[in-house]
Amino acid sequence: MARSIVPQARVTKLLVLCAGHAQGAVPVQGAVELHCAASARGPVQGGPHALPGRQLQAHLLGTGLMTIKWDEHFKGIQLLDKLLGLPANPWHGKIGFAQLPGSPTILNRSIGKLEACTTTTCPHAALQRNQFTGETSLVNTAPNFGIAGFSGMINTLQGAGYKQATFNFFSFIAQLNRSMQHVIDISPVGPFLTQHLSTTPSALARWQAAGYHPPDVVTFLDNMDKSLTHSNGVLDIRITNGRLYR
């Protein structure tokens, strides 16, 4: 029987709190209710309230069907044999990578209710078949670009020499050969150049030399490319404290 690592008393309290706060915006209400319901269905030593390490453990042991994580989760699994000193990686070819699930409904802001997607309200939705009901409907998806990023700035009040040196430094660390090493290593740096998404034989050879399983890398990069170029993708506003305007 699946259980959460959160004590039962805490889970009960959480469900009560969720029920009390599941008011207001319809999407938020639905998300809170789903989050609360999932707490009782989490994998052994996992669940939505588990620590990241617990989620990874459940995923690798097969008690967790899927998890939503960033790039380093994929990279960590691919290189786990090196990290643990194993003769081979038993997870190569067994753990995939996909875009986030979508929704067949969208919020009608004028009436505050969720409605089925149409080609007008969800112009970028795609027809998908529900494997449980067999019905086909429009499903709207949106990529998640994460909650953090790296950026650099050049102070316009500095002299020309300082500006040029700063620009040269940024250019140096963003060069393909140097930045690709950070993308391949176990780091929070994901693909950010078009060349990082290449699946040519020479590009895959570099991933393989680092310990990756080429077919898994192709799946990872293809889905990453689909997410980064998705028509529903929206980047955070790039101003001070821009996260406050989400």
Q: How far apart are the first and last CA of the chain?
A: 38
| pLDDT at residue number 76 | 87
pLDDT tops 90 at residue 150: no
Q: Give the highest mean pLDDT range of 23-37, 54-68, 216-230.
A: 216-230
Residue 196 DSSP one-character state: G
Q: Which residues contact 73 (CB under 8 A, 6 or more apart)?
A: 56, 67
Which pLDDT score, from 0 to 100, does residue 8 have?
36
What is the model's pLDDT at position 198? 95
The pLDDT, as a whole number, for residue 118 is 95
What three-state secondary structure class fits 167? helix
The pLDDT score that the predictor gives to residue 68 is 76
- For the residues 207-226, what does the mean pLDDT come to? 94
Given a cut of 80, whether residue 181 has pLDDT beyond it is yes
162: tokens are 């300082």
Is residue 101 within 8 A of residue 141, CB to CB? The reply is: yes
Q: Are 5 and 50 in contact (CB under 8 A)?
A: yes
- What's the pTM value of the predicted model, to 2 decimals? 0.74
227: CB partners within 8 A, 6+ apart: 99, 100, 143, 144, 145, 233
Which amino acid belongs to residue 2?
Answer: A
Residues 56-78 have a mean pLDDT of 78
Least confident of 25-39, 66-80, 113-127, 172-186: 25-39
Mean pLDDT to the nearest integer, 217-224: 93
Q: Over the chain, what is the mean pLDDT? A: 79
Instruction: Determine the angle formed by the axes of helices 176-184 and 201-209, rounding to 10 degrees.
Output: 50
- Looking at the chain, the whole-number percentage of residues with pLDDT higher than 70 is 78
pLDDT cut 90: percent of the chain above it: 32
Give bridge partners of residue 140 from the DSSP assignment: 103
Range from 44-48, 81-85, 96-100, 194-198 that averages highest in pLDDT: 194-198
Q: Bigger pLDDT: 246 or 156?
A: 156
